[in-house]
């Protein structure tokens, strides 16, 4: 797997972390216990730090970056869907950041929330706990309280996927 130090900034991995061989982790990135990072994902902790909480998964094609001012923090038990982009934001525990969504610098997504597919959480926005944010720019869907059961189910599936991949993935060159 491509894991790089950048100067004195080095990634730190907890127990049972899975980083797919086609994902890239650079610099000041902390992956807590049971985190999985899937093909094509890039986590680049060059200007600041990136922290991913226990059992979270960063799915295919996702970009996670940070700035000198805004670190990126992704809580425990989170699902970051395919081709998402998180930059300099704080994501609470048990969140779903759905496929193709963008969460920008200085933003906060409260625990138990969903950022819908393709949504854009603009610079400095706050999504309250257990909310659903949809659209461009993302707006909270009023009167809707998120149940985190489906997020937890997806987290469990990806923890098992990581175990299966660690034990069974092998490259076939032709």
Q: Classify residue 66: in a domain, yes or no.
A: yes
Q: What is the pTM of this model?
A: 0.96
Do residues 40 and 25 make contact, with C-beta atoms less than 8 angstroms apart?
no
Q: Classify residue 134: in a domain, yes or no.
A: yes
Predicted local confidence at residue 2, as pLDDT: 85
* Long-range pairs, 136-141, Cβ under 8 A, ≥24: 138/101
Partners of 74 in beta bridges: 52, 91
Q: Classify residue 79: in a domain, yes or no.
A: yes
Predicted local confidence at residue 79, as pLDDT: 98
- pLDDT tens digits for range 122-132: 999 999 999 99
Q: Classify residue 40: in a domain, yes or no.
A: yes
Query: In the 8-state DSSP scheme, what is residue 45?
Result: E
Domain count for the chain: 1
Q: Classify residue 149: in a domain, yes or no.
A: yes
Q: Classify residue 174: in a domain, yes or no.
A: no
Q: Classify residue 173: in a domain, yes or no.
A: no
Predicted local confidence at residue 147, as pLDDT: 76
Q: Classify residue 80: in a domain, yes or no.
A: yes
Q: Extract the residue ranges of the chain whose pLDDT is less than 50.
A: none
Gap between the Cα atoms of 25 and 45, Å rounded? 8
Predicted local confidence at residue 105, as pLDDT: 97
- pLDDT tens digits for range 86-103: 999 999 999 999 999 999
Predicted local confidence at residue 1, as pLDDT: 67
Q: Tell me which residue range forms the domain holding 154.
A: 3-168
Q: What is the CATH number of the domain that holds 90?
A: 2.160.10.10
Gap between the Cα atoms of 168 and 60, Å rounded? 18
Predicted local confidence at residue 144, as pLDDT: 80
């Amino acid at each position: 797997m491509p894991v790089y130090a950048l100067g004195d900034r080095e990634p730190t991995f907890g127990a049972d972390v899975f980083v797919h061989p086609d994902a890239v982790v650079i610099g000041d990135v902390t992956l807590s216990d049971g985190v999985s990072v899937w093909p094509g994902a890039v986590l680049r902790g060059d200007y600041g730090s990136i922290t991913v909480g226990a059992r979270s998964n960063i799915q295919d094609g996702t970009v996670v970056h940070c700035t000198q001012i805004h670190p990126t923090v992704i809580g425990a038990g989170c699902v970051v869907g395919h081709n998402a982009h998180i930059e300099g934001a704080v994501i609470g525990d048990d969140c779903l950041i759905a496929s193709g969504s963008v969460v920008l610098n200085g933003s906060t997504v409260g625990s138990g929330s969903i950022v819908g597919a393709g949504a854009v959480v603009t610079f400095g926005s706050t999504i309250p706990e257990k909310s659903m944010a949809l659209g461009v720019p993302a707006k909270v869907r009023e009167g809707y309280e998120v149940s985190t059961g489906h997020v937890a189910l997806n987290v469990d599936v990806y923890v098992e996927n990581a175990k299966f991949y660690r034990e069974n993935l092998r490259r076939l060159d032709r």
